[in-house]
Amino acid sequence: MPSFAGSLVVLSGGLDSTVCLALAADEEHPSEPIVAVTFDYGQRHRIELERAAAIAGHYGADHLVVRLDASAWGGSALTDAAIDVPDADAGASGGIPVTYVPARNLIFLSIAVGIAEARDLASVSIGVNALDYSGYPDCRPEFVESFRATAALAQKRGIEGAPVEVLTPLVDKTKAEIARLGTDLHAPLALTWSCYRGDTGGRPCGTCDACVLRARGFAEAGLPDPALAVWQH
């Protein structure tokens, strides 16, 4: 059986995925590959694609952009122009918010595992979080556990006893802990983008769920958000 080394990181250009990439870069031997995979799925906040490219370049990662058109079937405020992205308070109904993209992490992880197997990489990392998040069902630990088992059944490597490892290093961390970890790892957090609204003139709206969660995390960590200096110029 061949040996497997290196990591694939699902990189959106946001805070969580950037910290995942920083962790991979910190843990990998310099000779082992790091692949960053970004999904262009028709999201309205397309600025995150530019940020992901810059972050991957910062780490010298091999950056792949996989194109899907989730806007073709819609069902989410992130891909359907007819659905407004709500402010955080407006979306606080206790249900799954309209910014949920149906089965997004299931789709992303399936593709990521396929790429990792094709490239003989040891693992896939994704920045799902089950504490400070928006209630998406595909961010829960039980989803990840189920996916690991199913993905192993679908791989040649799984049959051979060495499936691609699926890692969720941030799943049980608060946004404050993630902000601290990224700062400690000297991750390029100033490059990251969290805002769900794309047409903001290059500035985050500050009121959508993603913006509010990010701001709260840095505040609770007692840290300035390094992206603020970029946004204010």
Q: Residues 42-86: pLDDT tens digits?
A: 999 999 999 999 999 999 999 999 999 998 988 999 999 899 999
Q: Residue 29's pLDDT is what?
A: 67
Q: Residue 94's pLDDT is what?
A: 64
Q: Residue 230's pLDDT is what?
A: 67
Q: Residue 31's pLDDT is what?
A: 72
Query: Which two tokens mark 202?
Result: 């290059």
**Entry pTM:** 0.94
Q: Residue 93's pLDDT is what?
A: 58
Q: Which CATH number fits domain 7-231: 3.30.930.10, 3.40.50.620, 3.40.50.450, 3.90.480.20?
A: 3.40.50.620
Q: Residue 32's pLDDT is what?
A: 86
Which strands form 62-67's sheet, in the order they lie side by side?
Answer: 62-67, 34-40, 7-10, 123-125, 165-167
φ, ψ for residue 36, nearest 5 deg: -105, 125
Cβ(19)–Cβ(55) under 8 Å? Answer: no
Domain range annotation of the chain:
7-231
Which stretches in the chain have pLDDT values below 70? Answer: 1-2, 28-30, 90-94, 199-200, 230-233
Cβ(149)–Cβ(34) under 8 Å? Answer: no
Q: Residue 150's pLDDT is what?
A: 97
d(CA 56, CA 115): 17
Q: Residue 131's pLDDT is what?
A: 82
